[in-house]
Amino acid sequence: MPLFSKFWRQQNGASDPQRLRAAGAALQVEIAVPPQLAAALQQAGQPIPAPHIGLAIIDTGASVTTVDVAVLNGLGLSPTGTANVATPSTTSVQQPIYACILSFPGTPLPAIPFNQVIASQLAGLGCVALIGRDILQGCMFVYNGVEGIWTVSF
Amino acid sequence: MALETEIAYFNEMKAKLLDAHEGQYVLIKGREIIGVFPAYEEAYEVGFQRFLQAPFLVKQIIEKEPTEQVPLLALHFQRAAIQ
């Protein structure tokens, strides 16, 4: 089972829980067009958009993964549906859904072969994706705030 | 809004689709049902083959759609509503 851990350390080697608190469980993510679309584009003789690399934050509060809409549009993707997203009031709002694949360069974690993700504006958060429980349901995730370590295993 | 036509058509056809295909996935483009599939990956495959990067709708045929929880987005919507 591939495993990835991120340790936050001070210069003297001591654990640094404050840096983990500030950064969250963040890792590099590569967002690409789904393989079915890549194959169809190739068959049609059209170029396959280059993947986008950015930062993802694991968000255990989110039931579904969210990706920045500018990244999805930059890949030439179009929405393929909508999802109801709860708001603090009693009503929910509809957000567009896109299909894409997520992989994690620089880690041994396997790519998530196909995702339906919610699109939203995440630029203000300094990340391009929030990894939700739809992906976490297939892995083990340990957040050790005391030692400044988090671990994920798919 | 993208998919406005497809979503409206899905809502129009929902009762019939529920009767015949509950739990499956429908692929819609414009006001045409392209097909109904047991898995959403299959619906996407056909959608991408036929329409490449153009919008199309893939929807699970269920009575009540779930509401997703994304607290960070909820906060964003709340702030937008206040401003």
Q: Is the pLDDT of residue B1 over 70?
A: no
**What digits encode the pLDDT tens for the residues B16-56?**
999 999 999 999 999 999 999 999 999 999 999 999 999 99
- Give the minimum alpha-carbon distance from A74 to chain B in angstroms, rounded to a whole number: 12
Rounded to whole angstroms, the Cα distance separating A74 from A76 reads 5
Stretch among A7-16, A31-40, A138-147, B53-62 having the lowest mean pLDDT: A7-16
Q: Report pLDDT digits (tens) over A78-126.
A: 999 999 998 777 688 889 999 999 999 999 988 988 789 999 999 888 8
Instruction: Tokens 């999802």: give the residue.
Output: A83
pLDDT at site B77: 63
Q: Residue B68 and residue A63: Cβ atoms within 8 Å?
A: yes
Q: How far apart are CA A94 and CA A6, in angstroms?
A: 35
Tell me the CB-side half-sphere exposure of residue B25, using CA atoms within 13 A.
18
> And the tokens for A55?
């930062």
8 A C-beta contact, residue A145 and residue A69: no
In this prediction the ipTM stands at 0.86
- Residue B55 is predicted with a pLDDT of 94
Nearest to A31 by CA among A51, A55, A14, A49: A51
Amino acid A4: pLDDT: 93
**Residue A154 confidence (pLDDT):** 82
Q: Given an 8 Å threshold on Cβ–Cβ distance, is B47 in contact with A86?
A: no
| Test mutation, B29, B48, B56, chain A, max A CBs within 10 A | B48
Residue type, A22: A
d(CA A3, CA A111): 13
**How many other CB atoms sit within 10 Å of the CB of residue A153?**
14
Chain B residues touching A41 at Cβ < 8 A: 52-53
